[in-house]
Each structure stands twice: as C-alpha cells, then as structure tokens.
Amino acid sequence: MRTLFIGDVHGCYDELIELTKKIDLQYDDHLYFVWDLINKWPKSLEVVDFVKNRPNTWSVIGNHEYFLMHSDEKIQKIFAKIPDMSPQRIEWITKGREASRSMRESLEKAGNLEWILSLPAFIEKEDFILVHGWLHPDFWVHTPVEIATMLREYNEKPWYESYTWNKLVIYGHWAVDGLRIRKNTIWLDSGCVFWGHLTAYCLETRELWQVHAHDIYKIAADHKWKIEKIQSGN
C-alpha cells in the first residue's frame, strides 16, 4: 500500500487515467487529491466520478468547488472579510465563480453535488496535512476555508516562506509557480490544463511521476500568459 497525491486536475480526465497507469495504481493504494477537479474543462464530470467512486480515495475542497456553495452576494461578503484582496484578485475569483455556477446543474443531475459540498478544507494525518491552497500563519489547520482555498501569499510573499511547522503540507492551487518541493511543503499544481503536466507524488518513496497535457483546453485570453510561463519553465 502506498500513499499517493495528485495535483490540480481541472477536468483533464484523459491525463488522469494516463497518470494512474504510469504509477501502476493498485486497489489498496491510498490516493489523495488536492482538488480543483472541475472547471477549465474538458471532462470535469468524469474526473469527479473517478474520485468519488474509487475506493481508498480522498480529497479536500478547492476554490472552484467552494464557489458552488454560495450565491454571488455571499461571495462578495466573503471578499470583504479577506485581507489584502486586490481588485485583480476579486476579478479572478469572480470568473471562477461564474465557471463553477455553469457546472452546478450538471453536477447535481449526476448526483455529485452533495458529495462535493461535503468535502473538508483539510485532511490531517500523522505524516502530512493536505490542503488545496495554503495555511495562514495565524491559523494553520484552523485557517478559514475561504482563505485556505483562495489565497496563496502572506505579506506579499509565497505562504510557504512563513510556514514553520515540521509536518509536511501537500497542496496545489498555483499553476504558474508550478511543482515546488521544499523541506516541509510540496506544491503539486504543475498546470496540466495550461499545457503543463499532471503530477503525482508518493509519500513513502518520494517518487514523482508526470504526464504532459494532451492539449491546451479552452483557456480564456487572459490565461495565455500562464501558458507561456509554464512552457518556458520560469
């Protein structure tokens, strides 16, 4: 039995299946996702079905799933409570909310919406903490879910520079910064949906596996810079 983690999938179902074959996924392997399973296409519903129905599989909630929970009015109130929320960040989150809302009916028809809304913000085990976005230094594992799923920086620096616990944190959420392995944090979002890679990590052996995206998937014009940065490796 292995403990395995997979980064942000964003509907890249074909790449997910290819990756599970590459790692030779076994029935008794424990598989964890850092979420953002949906949105940005192309096969979000298939990805959700895979994660929901596979035995020994868990996930935390991501920002795109968190958007499913609340009305636009509620999201605006949340914005007001989050420190250092720039107009650009609000615009980005609003676009994500709109994309999630467009999927809500499909997820509900498939019987998956209630399952998504039941997912935790954190999974903490003896050897690791799993979170989608980050842990705020003032709260750590008690970081409010709206902050844990949406933000990435603390005092204008990547949050992991302020992380002082010894317990390993595995997370995603920031494709542009990509795969980043430090002593006590592992960043697994390697931008598959932006023509990057989908990444898996094994806790016991510290092995990494990757598969390259099969396509650039319906990315809005304001995301083209992300593709260029991921392709350049900078």
Residue 103 lies in a domain: no
Q: Name the percent of the chain lying above pLDDT 90.
A: 27
Residue 79 lies in a domain: no
Span of 101-110, 114-123, 128-137, 163-172 with lowest mean pLDDT: 101-110
Residue 223 lies in a domain: yes
Residue 15 lies in a domain: yes
Residue 70 lies in a domain: no
Residue 234 in this model has a pLDDT that exceeds 60: no
Q: Which residue range(s) make up the domain with 190?
A: 3-65+118-232
Residue 52 in this model has a pLDDT that exceeds 90: yes
The model's pLDDT over 24-50, given as tens digits with 9 standing for 90+, comes to 999 999 999 987 666 656 688 899 899
The model's pLDDT over 173-205, given as tens digits with 9 standing for 90+, comes to 666 666 778 788 888 888 887 778 899 999 999
Domain total in the chain? 1
To the question of pTM greater than 0.75 for the whole model, the response is yes
CA-to-CA dists, residue 25 to 52, 95, 135, 161, angstroms: 16, 35, 29, 33
**pLDDT score at 220:** 46
Q: How confident is the model at residue 71 (pLDDT cuts 50, 70, 90)?
A: low
Residue 32 lies in a domain: yes
Q: Name the average pLDDT for the chain.
A: 78
The model's pLDDT over 205-219, given as tens digits with 9 standing for 90+, comes to 999 999 998 887 655
Phi-psi region of 195 (alpha: psi -120 to 50; beta: other; left: phi over 0): left
CA separation for the pair 177, 197 (Å, rounded): 13
Residue 216 lies in a domain: yes
Task: Give the CATH number, domain containing residue 32.
Answer: 3.60.21.10
146 neighbors 185 (Cβ within 8 angstroms): no
Residues facing 122 on adjacent strands: 131
Residue 31 lies in a domain: yes
